Amino acid sequence: MRDQGLDRIAQGYRAFAAETVEESPAYVALAAAVADDRDVLRFLAGLPVGKRHPTLFFATVRFLGGVPADGAELHDRVLTDGDRFRSTMLARATQTNEPARCAALLPALATIGGPLALVEVGTSAGLCLYPDRYSYEFDGRPVGSRGPVHLRCATSGPVPVPAALPDVVARIGIDLDPLDVTDAGDMRWLRALVWPGPAEAARLQRLDAAAAIAAQDPPTLLAGDLLERLPDALALVPEGAVPVVLHTAVLPYLAGPHRGAFIERVRELPVRWIAQEGAGMVPGTGEPYPGGWGPYFVLSLDGRPLAHTAPHGGRVDWFSG
Ligand SMILES: C[S@@+](CC[C@H](N)C(=O)[O-])C[C@H]1O[C@@H](n2cnc3c(N)ncnc32)[C@H](O)[C@@H]1O
């Protein structure tokens, strides 16, 4: 008799392989191999439901010994080193921190007058709290003097590309488990979360450069749930600064009622609110994709959709009107 639990996990890995084609041919092959490997599926089935996702599993594989050459190597490593795989997957979470998302946030930030106090929920290591320290090129049009984190962004529509960088006076982040860019283990984990593939080298270079910027002027990071810690974070906003609550690639991690409670809370607060999330995660931003992700994100300001954006920020398609 077939085990339906294993079949469900296999299905998830097949779906991941289908979604990952362009970004990571190596993970496509490994995910397909996992879907056909009953031993690896049994290992995954022994983990709590929320800990079986390919992104977490493959980051763990990479963290503990690099990207396997093929499914056979992956099989051997999981079977011989299962305890370490298990403890890493239980201790760590998907916390991919992509500073290039700031290119999508910048036009929304530019429409708010400063000085700005950024309060990022689901901040990971806080690398999206430095939009003023990176430089940009929107269709070749520069913003800021060229620096070590240089973000190129293609656009369509009437994007309000700013003439200058925003004035950020406070950087406050909340995360269930904030990562520390000065900690070698946390940096190794952040690097392991980057998928092998055509964009990998540029992403790793950007991650390291952004981490060096953050290390020189660390953000204030609060540990805990975003809804619970929001009042503590807002209490740190300096007098005279405009509080901007922002988040990117976070809402799919919250169960529906939790997400609803967070959105209701932010709407009531005297803050500006920028979200860059999968369609429909913020009400009124489209039909949600299964699982909350999708091929594009929607950038919204105070709940009003402004643009479709590439999930990693390399493209902004601003809505007319
Ligand atoms: C995919 S990462 C995105 C990180 C960052 N926003 C970015 O775009 O680069 C999602 C982050 O949300 C955090 N997170 C998930 N649920 C959370 C919650 N209930 N409260 C606070 N942080 C949460 C995770 O720990 C993780 O660091």
Q: What is the pLDDT of residues 19-30, one digit of tens each?
A: 888 889 999 999
Place of tokens 């999930």: 311
Counting ligand 1 atoms within 8 A of each CB, the residue from 149, 175, 222 with the most, and so the one to mutate, is 175
What per-residue confidence (pLDDT) applies to 202? 96
Q: What is the pLDDT of residues 119-141, one digit of tens each?
A: 999 999 999 999 999 999 999 99
**Is the model's pLDDT at 211 over the cut of 50?**
yes
**Is the model's pLDDT at 310 over the cut of 70?**
yes
Ligand 1 atom nearest to 225, measured from its CA: 20
Q: What is the pLDDT of residues 246-281, one digit of tens each?
A: 999 999 999 999 999 999 999 999 999 999 999 999
Q: What is the pLDDT of residues 38-94, one digit of tens each?
A: 999 999 999 999 999 999 999 999 999 999 999 999 999 999 999 999 999 999 999
What per-residue confidence (pLDDT) applies to 290? 76
Mean pLDDT of 182-204: 97
What per-residue confidence (pLDDT) applies to 4? 80
Distance 300 CA to ligand 1 centre (A): 18
Q: Which of 119, 60, 104 is nearest to 85 (CA)?
A: 60
**Is the model's pLDDT at 1 over the cut of 60?**
no
pTM reported for the whole predicted model = 0.95
How far is Cα 90 from Cα 88, in angstroms, rounded to an integer? Answer: 5
Counting ligand 1 atoms within 8 A of each CB, the residue from 250, 262, 281, 312 with the most, and so the one to mutate, is 250
Helix segments in 112-199, DSSP class H: 184-192
* Mean per-residue pLDDT of the chain: 95
What per-residue confidence (pLDDT) applies to 277? 96
φ, ψ of residue 164 in degrees (nearest 5): -140, 165
In the chain, % of residues over pLDDT 90: 91
What per-residue confidence (pLDDT) applies to 308? 96
Furthest C-alpha separation in the chain: 66
Q: What is the pLDDT of residues 148-190, one digit of tens each?
A: 999 999 999 999 999 999 999 999 999 999 999 999 999 999 9
What per-residue confidence (pLDDT) applies to 2? 62
The full set of domains in the chain, from first to last, is: 4-91 (no CATH), 99-318 (3.40.50)
φ, ψ of residue 278 in degrees (nearest 5): -55, 150
Task: Lowest mean pLDDT of 59-63, 195-199, 211-215, 284-288, name the range.
Answer: 284-288
Distance 121 CA to ligand 1 centre (A): 7
Distance 78 CA to ligand 1 centre (A): 27
**Is the model's pLDDT at 244 over the cut of 70?**
yes
In the chain, % of residues over pLDDT 70: 99
Q: Nearest C-alpha to atom 2 of ligand 1 is from which residue?
A: 95
Tell me the β-bridge partners of 156. 317
Q: How many CB atoms lie within 10 A of CB 167?
A: 13
Q: Going edge to edge, which strands form the sheet with 272-278? A: 141-143, 135-138, 150-156, 315-318, 304-309, 297-301, 272-278, 242-248, 116-121, 168-175, 220-223
